[in-house]
């Protein structure tokens, strides 16, 4: 046990040396006779419990207690006093003392009390540690962006996180779907429980089912032991199903049942298991199209898609790029000890003109690579990855017409592209297209 005890005593009031020797056999104990020494130790050492005389010269118990709590609120203070009155006891407890006892001191009794105080404190420390971890994992500031569209995403995240609804996140690769899912979990009342991830696209049908629901020993050849599935692991917490568009129709039926009835069986098992899991699913596919093609169940879609969050690709919110670049530079400076101050105008222009098919992840990788290569304080364009420097990678000012498009389809493509280029600004887009705003709105 790393928790330590500090005894603050009045000289000659009891056989303190003997008492402390007794305590020290059970937990690391220090004895001081002045409060100034006590405060010094409390500031520097991992003291968890203080055993103090209530009536010390110059300072009364309540004052001492307040001072100790101000140094470290988690410390438990146990008092000893020559004459306890009811008012004194009540006042001490009200101020947060753990307990108060009368002399003569009974080391055995005090040791039991200390044991209980330590238990209480461990719980407190565990909670603190958990809160610290949660904060570290998700501090809302981690979703970086200043564009209108991303701010809208952040707003939706904060408003739905505490509500126990299933969520479907749609977005291209690298747009931050997992980041958003974890943000939701760590801002929900389930934050203290597990956030479990499954990449549905990474498993074959049979393996995915045993991954999700677990299996019993002997369920299939190779199932030598029973296995707990991700649903069980996520009980009380959140299950993040990535690439949900990739699951087979038969797995979809099983998933639907868990969503509807909150129960399932392990593969090869006949015991019905109950779970309380919040589902967040993500996909970069167009599920409505899969529904039309008969590849995705509509009923499952509605169960998953209670709230829909769409993260736009980076090329449609280019005003996020400068802030993301600064954030990544700062983060990598800290992590890798670099001393890079910024990026040249030319390099930024190149970053702004690229289409970023790999979105934020691709941008982060490009910055990391440039930072590793550069030996200057400012990243020059020559240090950017080669693919960014090729003329073909930069957005050009002509539009290539995809093959096999009908005229109406072409119109849709051109409207989409213009809106993309104007950052979703409809008036600007209408002007560029040479049509009225009303006409554009109708077509959109
Ligand atoms: N808005 C953002 N602010 C800060 N970092 C971001 C942002 N969006 C994405 N990232 C970072 O980009 C990387 C990719 O994000 P994430 O893994 O969440 O994407 P994804 O949509 O799940 O991608 P995939 O579809 O490929 O799984 C991560 O390192 C993530 O932290
Ligand atoms: Mg992902």
- 330 and 306 share one domain: no
- 41 and 79 share one domain: yes
Does 237 sit in the ligand 1 pocket, CB within 6 Å? no
Residues (pLDDT < 50) of the chain are: 1
Residue 47: closest CA among 13, 85, 7: 7
- 68 and 105 share one domain: yes
In-domain check, residue 23:
yes
Ligand number nearest to the C-alpha of 184: 1
Boundary (domain end) residue, out of 113, 134, 155: 134
User: CA 177 → CA 212, 219, 359, 375, distances in Å?
Assistant: 20, 34, 11, 34
pLDDT (0 to 100) of residue 1: 45
- 276 and 414 share one domain: no
In-domain check, residue 401:
no
In-domain check, residue 399:
no
In this structure, what CATH number is given to the domain that contains residue 170? Answer: 3.40.50.300
- 106 and 210 share one domain: no
- 163 and 293 share one domain: yes
Q: 360 CA distance to ligand 1 centroid (A)?
A: 6
Does 312 sit in the ligand 1 pocket, CB within 6 Å? no
Could you give the CA distance from residue 130 to residue 190 in angstroms, rounded to a whole number? 12
Q: Tell me: the pLDDT tens digits for 342-354?
A: 999 999 999 999 9
- 389 and 360 share one domain: yes
Q: 176 CA distance to ligand 2 centroid (A)?
A: 7
* Phi and psi at residue 256, to the nearest 5°: -60, -40
Q: 362 CA distance to ligand 1 centroid (A)?
A: 9
Boundary (domain end) residue, out of 264, 289, 310: 310
Q: Which of 154, 157, 175, 322 to mutate to test the pocket of ligand 1 (most atoms within 8 A of CB)?
A: 175
- 377 and 435 share one domain: no
Does 177 sit in the ligand 1 pocket, CB within 6 Å? yes
* Phi and psi at residue 337, to the nearest 5°: 70, 20
Q: 145 CA distance to ligand 1 centroid (A)?
A: 12
Could you give the CA distance from residue 55 to residue 64 in angstroms, rounded to a whole number? 10
Ligand 1 atom closest to residue 150's alpha carbon, by position in its atom list:
1
Residue 121 structural domain: 4-134
Ligand 1 atom closest to residue 173's alpha carbon, by position in its atom list:
25
Ligand 1 atom closest to residue 320's alpha carbon, by position in its atom list:
1
- 95 and 190 share one domain: no
Number of domains making up the chain: 4
Ligand number nearest to the C-alpha of 361: 1
Ligand number nearest to the C-alpha of 182: 1
In-domain check, residue 290:
yes
Could you give the CA distance from residue 253 to residue 299 in angstroms, rounded to a whole number? 10
Does 295 sit in the ligand 1 pocket, CB within 6 Å? no
Boundary (domain end) residue, out of 281, 310, 339: 310
pLDDT (0 to 100) of residue 120: 85
- 343 and 289 share one domain: no
- 261 and 326 share one domain: no
* Whole-prediction pTM: 0.64
In this structure, what CATH number is given to the domain that contains residue 415? Answer: 1.10.10
Ligand 1 atom closest to residue 169's alpha carbon, by position in its atom list:
21
Which residue's CA is minimally distant from atom 26 of ligand 1?
173
- 278 and 147 share one domain: yes
Q: What's the angle, vertex CA 130, arms to CA 142 and CA 79, rounded to 5?
A: 135
Ligand 1 atom closest to residue 327's alpha carbon, by position in its atom list:
4
Does 178 sit in the ligand 1 pocket, CB within 6 Å? yes
Does 173 sit in the ligand 1 pocket, CB within 6 Å? yes
Could you give the CA distance from residue 299 to residue 1 in angstroms, rounded to a whole number? 54
In-domain check, residue 171:
yes
pLDDT (0 to 100) of residue 401: 62
In-domain check, residue 398:
no
Q: Which residue has the tokens 């700062």?
A: 330
Ligand number nearest to the C-alpha of 368: 1
Question: Quick one: DSSP state of residue 141?
Answer: G
In-domain check, residue 96:
yes
In this structure, what CATH number is given to the domain that contains residue 375? Answer: 1.10.8.60
């Amino acid at each position: 046990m790393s928790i330590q005890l500090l005894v603050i005593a009045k000289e000659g009031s009891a056989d303190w040396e003997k008492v402390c020797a007794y305590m020290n056999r059970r937990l690391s104990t220090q004895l001081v006779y002045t409060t100034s020494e006590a405060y010094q130790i409390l500031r520097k050492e991992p003291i968890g419990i203080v055993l103090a005389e209530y009536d010390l010269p110059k300072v009364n118990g309540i004052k001492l207690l307040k001072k100790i709590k101000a140094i470290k609120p988690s410390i438990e203070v146990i008092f000893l006093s020559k004459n306890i009155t009811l008012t004194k006891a009540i006042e001490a407890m009200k101020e947060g003392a753990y307990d108060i006892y009368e002399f003569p001191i009974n080391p055995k009794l005090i040791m039991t009390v200390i044991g209980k105080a330590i238990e209480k404190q461990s719980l407190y420390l565990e909670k603190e540690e958990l809160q610290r971890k949660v904060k570290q994992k998700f501090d809302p500031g981690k979703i970086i962006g200043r564009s209108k569209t991303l701010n809208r995403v952040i707003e939706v995240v904060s408003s739905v996180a505490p509500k126990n609804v299933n969520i479907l996140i749609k977005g291209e690769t690298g747009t931050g779907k997992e980041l958003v899912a974890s943000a939701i979990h760590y801002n929900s009342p389930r934050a203290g429980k597990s956030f479990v991830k499954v990449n549905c696209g990474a498993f074959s049908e049979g393996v995915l089912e045993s991954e999700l629901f677990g299996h019993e020993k002997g369920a299939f050849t190779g199932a030598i032991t029973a296995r707990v599935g991700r649903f069980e692991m996520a009980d009380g917490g959140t299950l993040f199903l990535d690439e949900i568009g990739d699951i087979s129709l038969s797995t979809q039926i099983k998933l639907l049942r868990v969503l509807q009835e909150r129960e399932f069986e392990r593969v090869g098992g006949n015991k019905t298991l109950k779970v309380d899991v919040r589902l967040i699913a993500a996909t970069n596919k167009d599920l409505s199209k899969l529904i039309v093609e008969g590849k995705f169940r509509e009923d499952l879609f509605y169960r998953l898609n209670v709230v829909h969050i769409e993260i736009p690709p980076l090329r449609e919110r280019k005003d996020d790029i400068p802030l993301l670049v600064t954030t990544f530079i700062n983060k990598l400076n800290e992590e890798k000890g670099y001393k890079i101050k910024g990026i040249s105008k030319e390099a930024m222009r190149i970053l702004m003109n690229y289409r970023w098919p790999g979105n934020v992840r691709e941008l982060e990788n490009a910055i990391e690579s440039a930072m590793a290569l550069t030996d200057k304080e400012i990243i020059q364009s020559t240090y950017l990855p080669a693919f960014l420097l090729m003329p073909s990678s930069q957005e050009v000012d002509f539009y290539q017409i995809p093959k096999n498009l009908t005229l109406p389809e072409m119109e849709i493509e051109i409207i989409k592209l213009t809106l993309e280029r104007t950052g979703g600004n409809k008036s600007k887009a209408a002007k560029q297209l040479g049509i009225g705003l009303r006409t554009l709105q109708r077509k959109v």
